[in-house]
Structure 1
C-alpha cells in the first residue's frame, strides 16, 4: 500500500523513534524497516506460496505471504496481519516459530513458520495475490532456481533455506 507508515529501525531491528512513509524518496541510509513473512505448513508437509498481483513489484512472481510492519507493530504482529490480509488465514503470534532474519539494503526480513492451523480455507486478496499453491518445500527451492520466485526470495532462501528445511517435515 502506498503511503503506509513504517517505523525506522537500527540494524538490530530496534525502532529509533522515526518513521518513513512508503513511496517517499530517499530512504534514510543505514536505517531499516521490518518485513515479516510466514511459511504456513500443512500437516502433510506442504507449504503455502502465493503469486503476487500483476500490479505489484515482482509481478506474478511467487513468494511466502509477507509485508512490511506498520508503525507500532512488532514483526510477529505484522506477520499475522499480512497472512490474514493476503490469504485469509488466521494464526496466533505465539504459534509463529522464527526461522531467521535477513538484512537487506533497506529492510530486515523476518521469516516465521507456522504449523497446525485449524482452518486452511484460503480467501486471497486479489489486490495482493492472484494465485496460491501448496507445494513441497523442495518446489520452493526449484522455483528459486528457475527464477519464478520474487527476486528478493532467491537471496532470502539462500540464507534461510537450510534452517527452514529443518523446520518443515518432508
Structure 2
C-alpha cells in the first residue's frame, strides 16, 4: 500500500478485502501500447472479471514490493505476452481513485504480432485509434473505471501517444 503521494508504506492489504484503511491506496499500473502506425492496443476483459467483456488498456495491481513501472511491464507481459523494457515506458499521468492510484504509461513497439492472451484475464484484443477508444468509452463499452480515467488523462495520453 502507498500513501496519497504514492510512497510505499510497508503495509499490505489484499485488494477487495473489507476495511481498506482510509488514506491508503493500492497501486494500479496501465500501459497504452502504440504501434508504429499509431494504433493502440486495447484488451477485452474476461467474462469472469468485474466489468466482463468491457475494453481497457492492459492494467493491474502492483504486487508487494513492486514499483509502478515493474507492475506495468509484468501486467502487459502476463495479459498479452508483449515484452517491453521498463525504460521504454513513458509516464502519462496518475489518477487518484477511492482506494487506488492509477499510473498510465505509453510504450511504443515497431511490430506487435503474436499476442498471447491470458484467458483468465483477457478474452480479446484489438489495435484501434485513440478516437475509437473514446467512442468505446462514450458508448459504455470501456470498463467503467476507464471513463473517468480517460476524462482526466485523455489529452495527456493523446500527446504522449502522438510523439
**TM-score category of the 2 structures, normalised to the smaller one:** over 0.9
The equivalent of 2:107 in structure 1 is 114
Q: Pick the aligned partner of 1:29 from 14, 19, 22.
A: 22
The equivalent of 1:166 in structure 2 is 159
Aligned 8 A contact 1:52 1:58 in 2: yes
Q: Distance in 2 between matches of 1:119 and 1:165?
A: 20
Which has the larger share of strand?
1
The one-character-per-residue Cα deviations of 1:129-163 (angstroms, maximum 9, x if unpaired) are 00010000100011110011000000000000001
The equivalent of 1:14 in structure 2 is 7
The equivalent of 1:44 in structure 2 is 37
Are residues 1:83 and 2:76 paired? yes
Structure 1: which 5+ residue stretches go unaligned? 1-7
Give the C-alpha shift of residue 117 in structure 1. 4.9
Q: Provide the TM-score with structure 2 as the length reference.
A: 0.97
Q: Distance in 2 between matches of 1:119 and 1:133?
A: 11
The number of residues matched between the two structures is: 163
Aligned 8 A contact 1:84 1:90 in 2: yes
Give the C-alpha shift of residue 32 in structure 1. 0.1
Return structure 1 stretches of 4+ with deviation > 6 angstroms.
none
Question: Is the partner of 1:35 in helix, strand or coil?
Answer: strand
Structure 2: which 5+ residue stretches go unaligned? none
CA RMSD of aligned residues (A): 1.2
